[in-house]
A and B are shown apart, each in its own frame.
Chain A
Amino acid sequence: MPEYDESKNRMTLKLVYYGPALSGKTSNLTRLHDLLRPELKGEMMMLDTKNDRTLFFDMLPVGLKAPSGLLIKIKLYTVPGQVAHDSTRKAVLSRADGVVFVADSQLNQRLNNAESFENLADNANKVGLDFEKMPLVIQFNKRDLPQIETEQAINERWLQTGWPILFASAISGAGVLETFVVLLDRVYEIIDKEYALADQHQLSKQNFISGMTGAA
């Protein structure tokens, strides 16, 4: 559920990058920080340890102002991927309006991906999110590495789930923006139904996406 402050004419959405440890969630955010040209962009908040492991979360705020004057902020979060940080992960996930699941394409990471995905479903239910209905995009990252699963194998396994499957290489930036756009598309559908973005705020889906990303 977005946080909507009518008096301040402000809506805040929360999107969470979830996934196993070292699958590239923070890389996705730093790439987006470089790639996005939104109307409004804040400073990225990063808190990692010496060995590049996220301890609490990373956060990147972007935003736009709808023609109606409504300020829409999107805060992109990453969760800590390490198994031990489950309660932090759960707290970061709570109140999310959309999720990108960042999977590691390497062949030896299949089990970690599956466990993390189960953990996502589990925690989503625990924090009161409707896992079946919430906007969810699955990104298979690290396509630039050798020893990875083929796209065909991944599609065979995942496409039938109905969630959009995207391939990315966050280190080079490939697929990162595309993933974000697909999630924005889904999130817009849901927010529009409840807050009438198009009718009341004159904000079309296309303008929503382009305003948040800077893409034409």
Chain B
Amino acid sequence: MTTPETSHMLEPYDREYDLADVLKAAGIERLQQIFSQVIGDHYCIQSVAGEVLMGKAENCAKRAAIYMDMEICGYLCVAAGVNDTLMAALENILKMIVAAQHQYLMISSLHIEAIHADYAALKDRNEKLQESEERYRKLCTELDQRVQEQIAEIEQRQQQLYKAERLASIGHMAAGIAHEINNPMGFILSNLQTASRYVENLKAFSVLMCQPSSIEAARVYWIEQQVAADIEDFPELLRENIQGAERVKSIVSSLMDFSGFNLEESEVCNLDALLRKAADMACAGVDRKIDVQYTLQAAVNVQCNRSNLIRAFFNVLRNAVQAIHDSGEIRIALSVCDAGVSLEITDNGCGMNAQTLEHAFDPFFTTRAVGQGVGLGLTAAREIIQSHGGTILLKSQTGQGTQVSIRLPVTARENS
């Protein structure tokens, strides 16, 4: 596509044309050929100002005016010997040529004028389009950048919130765990005091036994102070203490699991063990009578993030525990299905109404009293299950308890 020249002004199509214009448009050389065939060189065509445009200047014996737009634009002149009929014929031909070429010149100029106007309008529109396209592109980039910033901010806040939730969970657990540890520590301490007393008794008895003079006194001491009973009781005391210490050790281990102090990386874990650990933590420090029943298929191993999955199970189980007010049962059923592993956690606690159920996964939605939970438990659980490629669904009715269905692919991987 060529660019029309816009540097010089177009001549308007409705300007006044002169005879030279129209003869030029018709092609002067061709006209000269035709005229010379008819009349030889016994003619000339002059402009209104006297300029010779065709033919020879000396042929001026007779002349006829040629009109264009009501004005004389030039003359047809012939030599003396040319007869009038031939001159009239040439005059008519010349008039036709002038009229036709005048019209042709006007129309072609008009056409060019219109095309230039169209082109200018098109160019203008194109420029505006490019401008607006540029604006939109800029806006688009800005929007994209702003979206990225917002996403980054949301992600950062989400992580902060999860950390906060984790801390809150740990705080909640800490209370329970303190109670759990306090209990065995109480009887371990009491047992140790008793044990010290037994040792004092045995020490006094052995002192009496070491001198022959006091053998009798030692025998009386043995009977009166019931040293035999102390010795009998001693192994039981130690056994209780070892049990208590084991319990403390197990709780500390659970706490470390939950806090993620152990392994953050993906690993193959036995779901059975994870569930039991989570259930133990959820029930820790709860004084209500809660019966946890397991229906677990042995050795279901999944590739997972151990501490995260424990946390998810803990969050679900803690809800179950909290739904039970006086006494009740929690059933944990684990089975293998086509898509992987199916896990049902069912409680017969207070349940949820439709409205609560609808919002159960919403962040910060909680029915607990202020300070008792921030409402991120199920949100975090779902996040973790989904990050393992699984799904989590709730079914519940007020007074009928709640069923949580979790599906995990056997090859579940931590994607995040």
Contacts and interface: CB of A to CB of B under 8 A. Distances in A.
Interface string A30-73: 00000000001111010100000000110101110000000101
Contact of B111 (A10, A56, A59, A77): A56
Nearest to A75: B14
A71 B48 CA distance: 16
Interface stretch (B102-110, B184-192, B231-239, B295-303): B102-110
A56 B107 contact: yes
B280 interface: no
A36 B70 CA distance: 14
A90 B67 contact: no
B329 interface: no
B13 interface: yes
Nearest to B115: A87
Contacts of B30: none
A43 B99 contact: yes
B16 A3 contact: yes
Interface in B93-150: 99, 102-103, 106-107, 110-111, 113-115, 117-118, 121
Given A47-B103, A90-B117, A95-B14, A42 B110 contact: no
A43 B66 CA distance: 13
Given A3-B15, A87-B114, A73 B70 contact: yes
B17 to A, nearest CB: 12
Per DSSP, chain B at the interface is helix
B71 interface: yes
Interface residues of A, number: 28
Interface string B61-74: 00000011111000
B12 interface: yes
A92 interface: yes
B71 A71 contact: yes
A41 B111 CA distance: 26
B103 A45 contact: yes
Contacts of B110: 56-57, 88, 91-92
Of B69, B107, B121, most buried by chain A (CB within 10 Å of CB) is B69
* Chain B interface extent, by class: 20 to 34
A75 B16 CA distance: 11
A27 interface: no
Per DSSP, chain A at the interface is strand
A47 B114 CA distance: 17
A180 B92 CA distance: 32
B117 A87 contact: yes
Contacts of A91: 13, 110, 113-114, 117
A101 B279 CA distance: 93
Contacts of B107: 47, 56
B147 to A, nearest CB: 43
A80 to B, nearest CB: 10
Contacts of B99: 43, 45
Interface string A1-35: 00101000010101000000000000000000000
Interface string B8-21: 00001111100000
B106 A42 contact: no
Contacts of B115: 87
A43 B13 CA distance: 18
A73 B13 CA distance: 16
A77 B113 CA distance: 16
Interface of B: 12-16, 67-71, 99, 102-103, 106-107, 110-111, 113-115, 117-118, 121
23 contacts: A5-B16, A41-B70, A42-B70, A43-B99, A45-B102, A47-B103, A47-B107, A56-B107, A59-B106, A61-B69, A61-B70, A63-B70, A71-B71, A73-B69, A77-B14, A87-B115, A88-B110, A91-B110, A91-B113, A91-B114, A92-B110, A94-B12, A95-B14
The 4 A-B residue pairs whose C-beta atoms are closest, nearest first, are A87-B114, A40-B70, A42-B70, A91-B113
Given A5-B16, A59-B106, 18 more contacts: A3-B15, A40-B70, A42-B70, A47-B103, A47-B107, A56-B111, A61-B69, A61-B70, A71-B71, A77-B14, A87-B115, A87-B118, A88-B114, A90-B117, A91-B110, A92-B110, A94-B12, A95-B14
